[in-house]
Structure 1
């Protein structure tokens, strides 16, 4: 099982522990365009953290986590967290009673956002500067920060109503034998008042975010085919193509048709001129669109006129 779980989608990434939690005072979090929009995201069941039974990345932007209450040697309850990171975050939560009798279960999700930039998050853990506010409604809470005239926010929206406060939500469940309970949660970053909604919803494994000009299946199908007797070489080649796909970002210039490679994941999912040019040049035989997008983006960002 990996030591951390990292999901990436363009300039968005979600960096958590294998059980899906984000702990404060660590360089973890949900980051959107270089700012951390979740600095805490911890799930407990009857006051106990989730012990992961399995935790794996499905696509570079999605993952499935299955766990049980910590220190339970013969688990009678399982929790599944399906996570999709596309602009915002969509998370499906399923709690299942595997016992032969009814169980009363308390599920609590605690959350916070410090809106640190990526460098502050790596150096300081939880970082607070500026003015913060939190407003809780019936099924949504809005966390905001105003810092030197720059405003960021995070909206956390729940499909089911629970006991919602400004820093956590609690669901009190009554599950019969073999019964499951489920809900879904959206995490929506706000930049200067504009909400960036998740592009995928419930049960979206195998689907692809529409913002990329080439979906993952087409990306793999149009790459040159590697024929090799040594099976690990084929796996290495395929994984390299997947890693390269995960590195794609799409600057918001409307005329830019293709996606370009970022500086590096997860901490540098932004435009780096040298890194992007080198990566694009080295991948010319495989996906030439990266070079086209890189040149267009750098011209847009650095040039003063078209010639």
Structure 2
């Protein structure tokens, strides 16, 4: 599968660059969580031989050879087809060069199939999504305009690719072009939809400091960008997560705020406008809470899925506070921080009012809607288990989230001082100190010399050995006298593969190196651990981890750091990287990981 995108239009092809769902199930043209077109194949009056396709972040260019007349011994026509995403449109340009001794008349058309299909149906995440028709073929080779309409939305295709003919004189080059313009018009008041802009994305400001981010990753980052009226916002991953995700974008901000402050500002701005102002148990919304996910697919707009604006994330609000302060620390942009003060205060009030379900000083989650049952970063239903494989029951207090809470308290102390509220600043300083003391007592597993991955509904430590406690180093919540034991365990054979740190120890009952969260390796997970290693002075360990992740990038089939990969060790695979089959590529916080690797190598 290959993907290119610029703006809101995303195109998925097979590995050869062919847009046809017969060859690649996900192939097609997508806009705002809907597949509009599942086939777009070039047809010609002359038989053409396909040579190769060049891929870029916003376009593909395919090259062909043909004969001006049947039966002549040599190819004498060269054709190139450039498909370029731009805002909400796909531009198609055909270039013909003739080496014939006579004038060549050549015509083209596109075999296009329109299907207006929910992205969840395409992905088939689970059986409930199959209630939507798996394919809705509405037009083959549509006329100049076509639309599909329901009570909720109107989807349109405007087609100017219906007449593409050229007359090319000997030795000359001629071009012809047209476009497909897609449109989605939502008939209800949707905050996210009103934010979107139909323009192409803007260039990314040059990164001033030396980094490993090459032109490929910069292209990937531009591909992920979603144009909004508040600036370009980075989507989470392609092809399935080309939308706003709270945790993903905020962690990317933490990874890159020192190098990409303008993007960080856009991230914070968009989240202030999506921040909840009401309670809704179906969508897990609470006043002050930062959004987990936004969607414009048919199932979500109809309320059959809760993801139109979904808040089932226990950590995004904490990450928002952390990133707000880090942005100010890097930029001294007082005017911006003052402009989002109300959102920061609302996020702080959410912590005080809603986050601690039983007033024990820890943040827990207990799902109330039909969305995610696990609302921390490892959001698979089976990701929080005891060492013997039993699933922990909610309310759950994840270990890394308490670290984020500690960090957020410290950030709020500094922000309240900035806002000239000394009384509140003192309160948050006391809360941070108390949390650190209690955390190092309640989450520490004496028998394991390690931290529990969570506390369950009975406040029992969940004793599985995971990567999650590694995040706590970044936040500073780990007592100095326990940091070395934590780091030693992270780099032990049960967690360290030689490529990176596993999500779950190989000694645990639920360990599976091919699972999503129970034994795989996630680069972003490792990047947050790297930041913590640097913070606590374990710089050589940070460099070791950075070097090993670079090996992953070098061995990955498209030279990217993937979303995740198999947790099999280097020795188990004789040095062969085993990829995860449905990993997003490109993926936002894996791009951010490359920048963290740069910092670790310089540590």
SS at match of 2:265: helix
Aligned residue in 2 for 1:90: 91
Aligned 1:189-204 pairs, distance under 5 A = 189-192=182-185
TM-superposed deviation, 1:12: 2.2
Confirm or deny: 8 A CA contact 1:11 1:270 kept in the other structure: no
- Provide the rounded CA distance (Å) in 2 between the counterparts of 1:24 and 1:141: 22
Q: Does 1:67 align with 2:68?
A: no
Report runs of 4+ in structure 1 exceeding 4 Å deviation.
Answer: 17-20, 47-50, 132-136, 171-174, 196-199
- Provide the rounded CA distance (Å) in 1 between the counterparts of 2:59 and 2:110: 20
Aligned residue in 2 for 1:243: 220
Give deviations 1:174-217, integer Å, cap 9, x for gaps.
Answer: 544224442111111122299x9985xxxxxxxxx4x53xx24x
Aligned residue in 2 for 1:107: 108
Confirm or deny: 8 A CA contact 1:134 1:141 kept in the other structure: no
Q: Does 1:293 align with 2:293?
A: no
Partner of residue 4 from structure 2, selected from 1, 4, 7: 7
Aligned residue in 2 for 1:39: 38
TM-superposed deviation, 1:263: 1.1
Distance 1:270-1:197 versus aligned 2 partners, 3 A rule: closer
TM-score, scaled relative to structure 2: 0.38
TM-superposed deviation, 1:75: 2.6
TM-superposed deviation, 1:29: 1.0
Aligned residue in 2 for 1:206: none
SS at match of 2:101: coil
- Provide the rounded CA distance (Å) in 1 between the counterparts of 2:197 and 2:180: 8
- Provide the rounded CA distance (Å) in 1 between the counterparts of 2:271 and 2:153: 25
- Provide the rounded CA distance (Å) in 2 between the counterparts of 1:172 and 1:244: 36
SS at match of 1:298: helix
TM-superposed deviation, 1:23: 1.1
Aligned residue in 1 for 2:178: 185
Distance 1:263-1:155 versus aligned 2 partners, 3 A rule: same
Give deviations 1:31-88, integer Å, cap 9, x for gaps.
Answer: 111112222110022364651334232xx22343322249x99432121122321221
The answer to which structure has the higher strand fraction is 1
TM-superposed deviation, 1:278: 1.0
Confirm or deny: 8 A CA contact 2:103 2:168 kept in the other structure: yes
Partner of residue 154 from structure 2, selected from 148, 151, 154: 151
- Provide the rounded CA distance (Å) in 1 between the counterparts of 2:16 and 2:45: 16
Aligned residue in 2 for 1:22: 19
TM-superposed deviation, 1:106: 4.2
Higher CA-based Rg: 2
- Provide the rounded CA distance (Å) in 2 between the counterparts of 1:73 and 1:27: 39
TM-superposed deviation, 1:128: 3.2
Confirm or deny: 8 A CA contact 1:68 1:75 kept in the other structure: yes
Confirm or deny: 8 A CA contact 1:10 1:269 kept in the other structure: no
- Provide the rounded CA distance (Å) in 2 between the counterparts of 1:264 and 1:297: 18
Confirm or deny: 8 A CA contact 1:43 1:50 kept in the other structure: no
Gaps of 5+ in 1: 163-170, 200-208, 228-232
The answer to which structure has the higher helix fraction is 2
TM-superposed deviation, 1:247: 2.1
Which structure would you say has the larger RCO, counting Cα contacts within 8 Å and 6 or more residues apart?
A: 1
SS at match of 1:177: coil
SS at match of 1:128: coil
SS at match of 1:40: strand
Give deviations 1:135-154, integer Å, cap 9, x for gaps.
Answer: 97xxx611211245422111
Distance 1:245-1:54 versus aligned 2 partners, 3 A rule: closer
Confirm or deny: 8 A CA contact 2:44 2:107 kept in the other structure: yes
SS at match of 1:225: coil
Aligned residue pairs, count = 258
Distance 1:264-1:172 versus aligned 2 partners, 3 A rule: closer
Q: Does 1:266 align with 2:239?
A: yes
- Provide the rounded CA distance (Å) in 1 between the counterparts of 2:150 and 2:183: 14
183-192 or 60-69: bigger deviation: 60-69
Gaps of 5+ in 2: 125-129, 188-195, 278-287, 289-341, 346-603
Q: Does 1:128 align with 2:146?
A: no
- Provide the rounded CA distance (Å) in 2 between the counterparts of 1:183 and 1:282: 44
Aligned residue in 2 for 1:281: 254
